Amino acid sequence: DVKVTQSSRYLVKRTGEKVFLECVQDMDHENMFWYRQDPGLGLRLIYFSYDVKMKEKGDIPEGYSVSREKKERFSLILESASTNQTSMYLCASSMPGSLTETQYFGPGTRLLVL
């Protein structure tokens, strides 16, 4: 079974702090994704990566950056956390190349910025 793990289930940070959210997958997937989920809005894509050291902006990249130094690990960075970044953050991974490419998700990190 594919396993995607996220470093924390819950985080509380203060405005202005630098925040790192870590994601690790164990299936040698090439693609990795970071989403945020807010009530009524569904999952919105922040950034994705299709290879080591490669990154692409998603729909809402402002205020975030990412790092992919190793294939299995994809980090989301909030350089200076703000209260509007309070949200549920989900990481996913997939192997590209087929019509039925499925994304496999981690359990999410619920971040509260005070």
Partner 1 sequence: ILNVEQSPQSLHVQEGDSTNFTCSFPSSNFYALHWYRWETAKSPEALFVMTLNGDEKKKGRISATLNTKEGYSYLYIKGSQPEDSATYLCAFRNAGNMLTFGGGTRLMVKP
Q: Which is nearer to partner 1, 5 or 65 (CB)?
A: 5
Least distance between partner 1 and beta carbon 55 (Å): 13
Least distance between partner 1 and beta carbon 16 (Å): 30
Q: Which is nearer to partner 1, 67 or 105 (CB)?
A: 105
Least distance between partner 1 and beta carbon 84 (Å): 19
Does residue 94 contact residue 4 with C-beta atoms inside 8 Å?
A: no
Q: Which is nearer to partner 1, 43 or 77 (CB)?
A: 43
**Phi/psi of residue 78, each to 5°?**
-105, 105
Least distance between partner 1 and beta carbon 14 (Å): 25
Q: Which is nearer to partner 1, 7 or 17 (CB)?
A: 7
Strand ordering across the sheet containing 4-6: 4-6, 19-25, 73-78, 65-70
Interface with partner 1 by CB under 8 A: which residues? 4, 31, 35, 40-45, 48, 50, 58-59, 90, 96, 99-108
